Amino acid sequence: MPLTLQQLESHWLIRLEGAVNIQCAPELKKVLIEWQGARVPLELDLERAEELDITILQLLWAARHEAADRIVRIASRPSAAAARALADFGFSADAGEQA
């Protein structure tokens, strides 16, 4: 499965692996909405993501901006493929990180 979620005591960890594309978007959107309601920090792990399509990048972009509004942290460890996808679609190098 391309998406796994761990609801830890201190934060949530969403791990995206393999080809993460439009077929995964409904599940990712559902998890991100649940996370917004939980109001806990989010760690986004893209270390094993081999492909991210624009639909997924848009969801992550929206989550990042939501995190900025709610003063929570999104951390990311992107794979080379994920970093390329972020750059190819015009996201800054720190698109997955919010301090």
**Predicted local distance difference test score (pLDDT) of residue 98:** 41
Report the alpha-carbon distance of residue 72 to residue 68 in Å, rounded.
7
Separation of alpha carbons 58 and 13, rounded Å: 19
C-alpha dihedral (20, 22, 24, 29), degrees to nearest 10: 110
Fold of 3-88: Transcription Regulator spoIIAA (3.30.750)
Q: What is the mean pLDDT of each run of 10 residues along the chain (99 residues)?
A: 91 94 96 90 90 92 80 74 85 50
Q: Where are the domains of the chain?
A: 3-88
pLDDT value of position 86: 82
Enumerate the H helices of 1-99 as residue ranges: 25-38, 54-70, 80-88
pLDDT value of position 88: 85
- pTM more than 0.85: no
